[in-house]
Amino acid sequence: MTELEKLKAGETYDYRDPEVQQAHVRAVQLCDRFNASERTELALREEILRELFGSLGKNPFVEKNIRIDYGFNMRAGDNLFINYDCVFLDVAPITFGDNVFIAPQCGFYSVNHPMDAVVRRTGVEYGKPITVGSDVWIGGHVTVCPGVTIGDNVVIGAGSVVVHDIPSDSVAAGNPARVVKSLPSRKA
């Protein structure tokens, strides 16, 4: 397998590989085009997002200064809202359900590096998927770490660091984020 194929398969890969770097540069250039576009250029902005994301539902709305590592591992349902200055390190899939609202300056980091410093120096890394359900509101400055699943109908409080799964129908906050309140189940 090539290093890019390893990345896409969720295996440990060398991020310095030229093909991997080319995929990253492509995503950076698409983000740069998006971030340079005018807010009134809705069709152009959506076209760029659709080229960047692996899959994207209806009615996406994304503010400027989005940063995405590769793009092909980004998936979102309908009515995705991403506010200013958000970062998505999509080494592994980052998946959002329908009606997800992401506040400014949030980070979703699916990338992981080896704990052993000697191995880490070799340039290898790997990812663990992040999954966010439907009807989720992520507050400002939230960090979501590799391997986390956030259920449906969840609110994550501003400034939280999500290192463990969060069940559906709950409010979570803190560092590390913990469930602080249950919400009535939504059956739409």
**Residues annotated as part of the active site:** 113
Residue 168 and residue 152 in contact, taking contact as beta carbons nearer than 8 Å: yes
Whole-angstrom CA distances from 25 to 9, 41, 96, 143, 173 are 20, 23, 24, 24, 35
Nearest alpha-carbon partner for 112 in 97, 94, 91 = 91
Distance CA 9, CA 3 (A): 10
| Token pair in block for residue 80 | 């995705």
DSSP string across 2-65: -HHHHHHHT--EETTSHHHHHHHHHHHHHHHHHHHS-TT-HHHHHHHHHHHSSEE-SS-EE-S-
